[in-house]
Amino acid sequence: MKVEDFINKEKVVDLSFFNFENAITAAYYANENLEIQKTNKNFAKFFPILGNVTNAYFPNVLEQLGIPEEQIAQFKSQIDENGSVLIPQIKITLEGKERMFSLLSARTKNKNFSYLNGVQGQFVDRTNEWALRKEREELILQKERDSELIKEKSLQLENLATRLAKYLSPQIYQSIFEDKEMVDSKHSRKNLTIFFSDIVKFTDITDTTEPERLASIVNAYLSEMSSIALEYGGTIDKFIGDAILVFFGDPDTKGDVEDALSAIEMSIRMQKRVNELQKTWKKLGLADGLMVRMGISTGFCTVGNFGSDLRLDYTVLGSPVNLAARLQGMANPGEIIIDENTQNLISQDVDLEKYETFTPKGFVRAINTFKVNNFKNQKGRKLNRKLSRTGKRVEINVIDSSDIRAALQELKQIQNAFEKEYSIDLSKEK
């Protein structure tokens, strides 16, 4: 006689299944042949579509629940080979809703009660956990997509900024994108030194030179002159065909005297560079090379943004601008002519020659003018350096300059929209 012969089978099974009966999971007990002997209340609650599953073959029950064949095969093979099985994710559709379960099962053995030798297991409802995990994964994916978008937009901003840097002086560029207050600031009245230059007989050159070659010549000339202007801290206002307008004293200033001296040194270097490049101009098709006239004046000007909401120019206005243009017009090829105000600031350092006294058009009084020869102390102004360096920040393209405003507007629109969407300030990113 065995011990099991003296004890009620039902009572033993109920006792061994006690913990499962009160579990929050859907628990079952099957015999060694995987025929279900007992289930807890939550089993019927979880899977009402099954009804009574007593004596049902457990793999068939899994099939009724719509579990894929490969997972059923996984259950049977692992329970036979390993004596236990864990399937972490099982999708079951109940009442039209997809739910996620984990299935844990293990074989049981008992020496005294042979009818306890079988399989006990449980379905754990992971639906909420799965939903949270899925949401987290979506957030991670969205973050990755946002990161890629940030990289894309940042690259777009960088490319647009690079395009704009070709057309704007570094001072103005910095004012627009690093000093927002300055962009919207009121116009200011400042004492500035104005430089104006022009190529001699440029109209004749345009009439005798094919467009492509002319563009190459003009772009090469303006690039060389721009490099020198930026080296001395000049603010390049604009290019008017072959003419160049540069001013000193805004947005940065070293004081009236140093601003004027910088303008003079810049002009001398420009003239020297033009002479150095005569062979280049001739190779480009200009038999007589290039000659440039320059005029410089100093006085109070109004500087700031001028224009409309659709188009703005950061520029300078005032009689010194007109006077610099007049002085350039009266200069001979290769000469630098300055007004008396500039002369008063630089005469101690620069060798000057009295030129003409004239009344420019639009002026009520006569203007004393002077021709610049050279610095009295060349070593002090470092004029002996070679002038072969090209500009690092400015490249001129006269043909494509029409898209400056479009690029600027596009850049600001993208930046504003991007910052608003992602609650970041690109101007503060380093």
**Per-residue pLDDT reduced to its tens digit, 83-135:** 999 999 999 998 888 999 999 999 887 766 666 788 988 999 999 988 888 88
Q: Give the CA radius of gyration of the chain.
A: 43
Measured between alpha carbons, how far is 238 from 313 in angstroms, rounded to an integer?
Answer: 9
The pLDDT score that the predictor gives to residue 372 is 95
The pLDDT score that the predictor gives to residue 273 is 93
Q: Do residues 355 and 342 touch, judged by C-beta distance below 8 A?
A: no
**Does the pLDDT value for residue 399 go beyond 60?**
no
Provide the whole-model pTM: 0.53
Confidence class for position 170, pLDDT limits 50, 70, 90: low
Q: Quick one: DSSP state of residue 428?
A: G
For the chain, give every residue range classified as CATH 3.30.450.20: 3-125
Confidence class for position 288, pLDDT limits 50, 70, 90: confident
For the chain, give every residue range classified as CATH 3.30.70.1230: 179-396
The alpha carbon of 52 is separated from its chain's Cα centroid by a whole number of angstroms, namely 65
CATH code of 179-396, in short, is 3.30.70.1230
**Does the pLDDT value for residue 353 go beyond 50?**
yes
The pLDDT score that the predictor gives to residue 17 is 55
Residues across the chain = 430
Reduce the DSSP state of residue 355 to 3 states and report it. Answer: strand
Indicate the residue type of 26.
Answer: A
For residue 132, CA distances in Å to 91, 126, 382, 428 come to 16, 10, 70, 35
CB proximity list for 234: less than 8 A, separation 6 or greater: 169, 195, 246, 247, 248, 262, 263, 266
**Does the pLDDT value for residue 423 go beyond 60?**
no
Among residues 95, 106, 126, the alpha carbon closest in space to that of 20 is found at: 106
The pLDDT score that the predictor gives to residue 183 is 47
The DSSP annotation for 131-177 comes to HHHHHHHHHHHHHHHHHHHHHHHHHHHHHHHHHHHTTS-HHHHHHHH
**Does the pLDDT value for residue 403 go beyond 80?**
no
What's the CA angle centered on 251, arms 335 and 220, to 5 degrees? 45
Superfamily of domain 3-125: PAS domain (3.30.450.20)
